[in-house]
Amino acid sequence: MQVLKFGGSSVGTIDAISKVIAIVKARVQKTPTIVVVSAMSGITDQLILLVQTASQGNEGYKMIIQSLAEKHEDAVRALLPASQQSATLNIAQQLIQEIESHCEGLYLKNELSLQIQDQLMSYGEILSSKIIAAAFEAEGVDQVWLDSRAMIKTNSSYSSAVVDRALTNQTIQAYFTNPTNQHALYMAPGFIASNAAGHTTTLGRGGSDYTAAIYAAALTVSILEIWTDVSGMMTADPRIVPHAKAIPKISYHEAMELSHFGAKIIYPPTIQPVMQAHIPIWIKNTFEPEHPGTLIEIASPKDDHFIRGISSIQDICLLSLEGAGMVGIPGFTKRLFDALAKKQISIILITQSSSEHSISVGVSMQDTHLAKIAVDAEFEEEINSQLLEPLIIEKELAIIALVGEQMRNHPGVSGKMFTVLGANGINIRAIAQGSSEKNITAVIEAHDVHKAMNLLHEAFFESTHKQVNVFIAGVGNVGSKLIEQIKLQAANLQSTLRLQINIVGIANSKKHLINLKGIDLSNSNNLTDSNNTHSSHAHDWSDQLAEASSGTIQDYVAAILDHNLPNSIFVDVTANAAVADTYAQLLSKGISVVACNKIACSSPYAHYANLKSLAQNHHAAFLFETNVGAGLPIVSTLNDLIRSGDTIKKIEAVLSGTLNFVFNHYEGGKDGKTFARVVKQAQDEGYTEPDPRLDLGGTDVMRKILILAREAGHPLEMEDIMNESFLPASCFNGSVADFYNELEKQEPHFKQLYDAAATAGCKLKFIAKFESEANEKMNGMAIVKVGLQHIQPSSDFFHLYGKDNLVLFYTNRYPELPLVIKGAGAGADVTASGVFADIIRAARA
């Protein structure tokens, strides 16, 4: 004898049922077979809704019956040849009529009992099993329909009846040993049973697995096969963790723990009867029958997987009993458990502090109200005399569990679990570890489940793979280049660093696009490429963004926080203050921030310091390499020097590509190239801020040297920087157009600056300088200044062309000859690559 169980999704469509028939047909010749089936998928839920609707006096129940009738009659028509349909259609219609007459009663009486609900739910399995039985007949496979209600005997706990195993075994064995009952194929409905009075009962949601196990154990078959819609028991629920993998072999105990903690693939009570009889369970995929699936048997395989799987249960609440009255007095725990048991509330998890000052239990959310009444009533006296607090309830929680029999031999599992969760800002409300050390469970906020499961899966099963979720704000020149670079480099990062960089969000100032699976970049438009038109790339990201929902940057950030994805990185490639204002919110949720935007780091010191400490406290990265010198490794080099114990004594730098360009091109007005024209040229070529005064006035350079000074450990403000501006005060008045007019008027001033330098054989360069040496006038504070200087040919700064930057670090280790960093300090491509490098750094942190 063999027992094969097919679940709801395996009998949910005509196509699926055909696959079931093919699988069984190939097997039935060799050994007598019991096939247990569930209701077609969704039908049990529909029946429950039907019962509720009818019993509330709502006529809408008739529509539900109609849809039930259609679904089953359609199945009959599709599965059976026309000539053989009528008998089965009659059966289906008769069953539907029975449902109808029950519902009429419910509708008129406006009352509902679990008994009648069980009665009605049973039709799901009866209908499916009768129809599939007819389909076998039509295929020439003889079968006999086996009424599970007559075989499986239970108590009267309707909706989750307890099976009388001894009586049930006797009944099943008596039936099968009777010579008149010998057949090749038995078709049995799962889920349903009956009590001593002969009333229909059900075995609890998902109970068809249990039905099959009961038949298998009673007949001591050699194996129980559970056919479902996934290729075995997996390392996690594949709907939550897309990278979950099938587990080839697992022990009964591990499978039991996983299912107890939410792995729906197998109904928890299923394992007990077959485990007692040493019958292995084989989980197989109806839709991929050649896949080996999962074998559940006695021993846990001796491999190096000390964590076999992870699972989760949503909709949990934590009940805590606290108070001095609990200490040292026996019996409290028992009274708590008894009070819950009397109300049939099952406890999923227990934790007790060793001081015995409190005990917490996790129960299903739907039991909260009942539990509160029951427990407060039980401890009324103690609560009144203030020995105990009234029961404390925390809602909207979830349980996550790590399961593996070998974990007891591997120290550090819980440490790793808590580190991974903590590093991603996931708060743990309670923890419990079974004394047999087969599981570690933690209670977390329901909102964090998806993130926690993916992180734990990554940590315990994918040591070779890390998925990073990137949210980009800003799609100007730099943002577009960045997306292009990530797209081109993605495969390489996956193979060399095992990093999967998913761009899940893209936003501009008006709209944002979020796709949790990763935005399709396949036809990504390079916005700076003028040959590329939108119409030729109908579905690239910029078109998707144009069609996306409108919203401010705050809306974007709210959505990011709400999605709560693991390993999230927010990338600010704007120059916008409102975007910079969101960093604190993000960092305090453990989301890393990579900023090209300089505003946050050059804002008041307290704000900058707060962002840095938020990042540290929430284990998030806060990186801004491109704040200074675009893609040049300036900030990271400075950080490396300091972290390795060096001290920055002095920094001298040309940090403005714009100013460098202007002074490289201005030759005292030669050939009519006035200073104003050179500035205009710089602006036209895209090297200046929209208002060039930010560059020419020195603000941009001040921000950059301030950031370097701060990173070197000096708590300075913008006001502490001396700016020896070369721009006459009159240039700061009015609009940008006014500014250009004024520049023209001031040409003699600029010519004089130029001539003075040229006469001395020097070039003009705008230099930023930081000196940490104690200075009496400054009360020991570091000196930071920016200004135009005459540069001698012997200086490092003399031969600095185009928009290059140059930074000289004088440190303890580089006292005389500085550490030099030189190269392009502006440009979309190099800036994007600096941002990209920060993203990779944040991802690997």
Active site residues: 704
User: To which H or E segment does residue 311 belong?
Assistant: strand 309-322
Q: Which does residue 309 bind out of ligand ASP, Mg ion, ligand ADP, none, counting CB within 5 to 8 angstroms by kind?
A: ligand ADP
Q: How many residues does the chain have?
A: 845
**Residue 609 corresponds to which tokens in the numbers above?**
């310091």
Of 6, 8, 279, 367, the residue at the interface with ligand ASP (CB under 6 A) is 8
Beta-strand ranges (E) seen in 73-190 are: 144-145, 185-189
Number of residues interacting with ligand ADP: please give it, by CB under 6 A: 21
Rule CB under 6 A: is residue 626 a binding residue for ligand ASP?
no
Q: Which does residue 39 bind out of ligand ADP, ligand ASP, Mg ion, none, counting CB within 5 to 8 angstroms by kind?
A: ligand ASP
Rule CB under 6 A: is residue 229 a binding residue for ligand ADP?
yes
Rule CB under 6 A: is residue 238 a binding residue for ligand ADP?
yes
Rule CB under 5 A: is residue 7 a binding residue for Mg ion?
yes
Number of residues interacting with Mg ion: please give it, by CB under 5 A: 2
Q: By CB under 6 A, which span of 6-14, 91-99, 607-615, 678-686 interacts with ligand ADP?
A: 6-14
Q: Which of 207, 629 has the CB closer to ligand ASP?
A: 207
Nearest Cα residue to 265 out of 277, 279, 250, 276: 250
Q: Would you say 766 and 788 are in contact if contact means Cβ atoms under 8 Å apart?
A: yes
Rule CB under 6 A: is residue 268 a binding residue for ligand ASP?
no
**What does the alpha-carbon distance between residue 571 and residue 831 come to, in Å, rounded to a whole number?**
13
Q: By CB under 5 A, which span of 23-31, 101-109, 198-206, 524-532 interacts with Mg ion?
A: 198-206
Q: By CB under 6 A, which span of 201-209, 507-515, 737-745, 786-794 interacts with ligand ASP?
A: 201-209
Q: By CB under 5 A, which span of 27-35, 102-110, 200-208, 524-532 interacts with Mg ion?
A: 200-208
Q: By CB under 6 A, which span of 235-243, 366-374, 504-512, 577-585 interacts with ligand ADP?
A: 235-243
Q: Which does residue 361 bind out of ligand ASP, ligand ADP, Mg ion, none, counting CB within 5 to 8 angstroms by kind?
A: none
Rule CB under 6 A: is residue 239 a binding residue for ligand ADP?
yes
**What does the alpha-carbon distance between residue 178 and residue 193 come to, in Å, rounded to a whole number?**
21
Q: Would you say 113 and 54 are in contact if contact means Cβ atoms under 8 Å apart?
A: no
Rule CB under 5 A: is residue 206 a binding residue for Mg ion?
yes
Of 233, 398, 399, 800, the residue at the interface with ligand ADP (CB under 6 A) is 233
Strand partners, 783: 771
**Window 103 to 162, contacts with ligand ASP (CB under 6 A):** 124
Q: Which does residue 233 bind out of ligand ADP, Mg ion, ligand ASP, none, counting CB within 5 to 8 angstroms by kind?
A: ligand ADP
**What does the alpha-carbon distance between residue 731 and residue 354 come to, in Å, rounded to a whole number?**
73
Of 2, 10, 46, 500, the residue at the interface with ligand ADP (CB under 6 A) is 10
Q: CA separation (Å) from 133 to 39, 80, 127, 136?
A: 13, 11, 10, 5
Of 189, 206, 325, 362, the residue at the interface with ligand ADP (CB under 6 A) is 206
- Smallest gap from Cβ 11 to ligand ADP, in A, equals 8
Q: Which of 9, 831 has the CB closer to ligand ADP?
A: 9
Q: Would you say 627 and 656 are in contact if contact means Cβ atoms under 8 Å apart?
A: no
Residue 165: CB atoms within 10 A of its CB come to: 17
**What does the alpha-carbon distance between residue 36 and residue 3 come to, in Å, rounded to a whole number?**
7
Rule CB under 6 A: is residue 289 a binding residue for ligand ADP?
no
Q: CA separation (Å) from 250 to 33, 279, 301, 309, 633?
A: 25, 13, 7, 9, 50
Q: Would you say 564 and 447 are in contact if contact means Cβ atoms under 8 Å apart?
A: yes
**What does the alpha-carbon distance between residue 117 and residue 96 come to, in Å, rounded to a whole number?**
15
- Smallest gap from Cβ 118 to ligand ASP, in A, equals 11
Q: Would you say 507 and 549 are in contact if contact means Cβ atoms under 8 Å apart?
A: no
**Residue 145 corresponds to which tokens in the numbers above?**
């329909």
Q: Which of 268, 827 has the CB closer to ligand ADP?
A: 268
Tell me how many degrees the CA angle 18-212-127 measures, rounded to the nearest 5: 50
Residue 814: CB atoms within 10 A of its CB come to: 17
- Smallest gap from Cβ 38 to ligand ASP, in A, equals 3
Of 123, 158, 186, 191, the residue at the interface with ligand ASP (CB under 6 A) is 191
**What does the alpha-carbon distance between residue 366 and residue 631 come to, in Å, rounded to a whole number?**
55
- Smallest gap from Cβ 248 to ligand ADP, in A, equals 13
- Smallest gap from Cβ 311 to ligand ADP, in A, equals 6
**Window 257 to 276, contacts with ligand ADP (CB under 6 A):** 258, 263-265
Q: Which does residue 238 bind out of ligand ADP, ligand ASP, Mg ion, none, counting CB within 5 to 8 angstroms by kind?
A: ligand ADP
The residue type at 583: Y
Rule CB under 6 A: is residue 525 a binding residue for ligand ADP?
no
Nearest Cα residue to 753 out of 810, 669, 820, 827: 669
Strand partners, 200: 194
Inter-axis angle of helices 14-28 and 114-138, to 10 degrees? 60
Q: Output DSSP code: residue 234.
A: B
Tell me how many degrees the CA angle 614-616-618 measures, rounded to the nearest 5: 65
- Smallest gap from Cβ 517 to ligand ADP, in A, equals 17
- Smallest gap from Cβ 41 to ligand ASP, in A, equals 8
**What does the alpha-carbon distance between residue 493 and residue 170 come to, in Å, rounded to a whole number?**
62
Rule CB under 6 A: is residue 400 a binding residue for ligand ADP?
no
**Residue 777 corresponds to which tokens in the numbers above?**
């006038």
Q: Which does residue 234 bind out of Mg ion, ligand ASP, ligand ADP, none, counting CB within 5 to 8 angstroms by kind?
A: ligand ADP
**Window 18 to 47, contacts with ligand ASP (CB under 6 A):** 38-39, 44
Q: Which of 53, 674 has the CB closer to ligand ASP?
A: 53
Q: Would you say 537 and 523 are in contact if contact means Cβ atoms under 8 Å apart?
A: yes
Q: Would you say 35 and 226 are in contact if contact means Cβ atoms under 8 Å apart?
A: no
Q: Would you say 154 and 195 are in contact if contact means Cβ atoms under 8 Å apart?
A: yes
Q: By CB under 6 A, which span of 1-9, 139-147, 493-501, 809-817 interacts with ligand ADP?
A: 1-9
Rule CB under 6 A: is residue 201 a binding residue for ligand ASP?
no
Q: Which residues contribute to the site for Mg ion (CB under 5 A)?
A: 7, 206
Q: Which residues contribute to the site for ligand ADP (CB under 6 A)?
A: 7-10, 38, 206, 228-230, 233-234, 236-239, 258, 263-265, 309, 311
Q: Which residues contribute to the site for ligand ASP (CB under 6 A)?
A: 7-8, 38-39, 44, 124, 190-191, 205-209
